[in-house]
Amino acid sequence: MKFSSRQCALAIQFKEMGLEWEPTVGNYVYDATAAVKPSSPFQEHVYFLLNYDCFMDRVGGVERFKTIMTWLPTWSDAREILRSLGVSNKEVQDELVRSRALEDGSEMLKLYELIAQHLSMPPQP
């Protein structure tokens, strides 16, 4: 799994906008503070949470982990977030087609952009 710098920036924005997340095994996280050593085997500052206890111990517990790490949602996470925000599968499909995201390989980025867009929208009555 590779995350673009734009995806990492949007994930930070999600966090700032209040997107809640509970760390679990299988999550990807972005470590902007370089708190975790050694360096990542994936890409710089991106980690895959495989050994939960090890990660929590290294950074000082779950709450500190959530403070210094930023969750990088996968495709399935992104779709679940969009569903929880009230975005229908049809809306996602229409946007992916309109933006040609599938054709140019930017589907994940487009999903992140949709999340940011819907997180910033006021709740519907």
What span, in angstroms and rounded, lies between the C-alpha atoms of 31 and 47?
Answer: 8
Non-local (6+) Cβ contacts of 43 within 8 A are 2, 3
37 vs 80, more confident: 80
Contact 26, 46 (CB under 8 A): no
User: How does residue 44 score in pLDDT terms, banded at 50, 70 and 90?
Assistant: confident
Residue 61 φ/ψ region, left for φ over 0, alpha for ψ in the -120 to 50 degree band, beta for the rest: left
% the chain with pLDDT above 70: 93
Is a pLDDT exceeding 60 seen at residue 55? yes
**H or E, element range at 76:** helix 75-84
Instruction: List pLDDT tens digits, range 56-101.
Output: 888 889 999 999 999 999 999 999 999 999 999 999 999 999 999 9
What residue segments make up the domains of the chain, in order of their start? 1-72, 75-125
Instruction: List pLDDT tens digits, range 1-21.
Output: 889 999 999 999 999 999 999
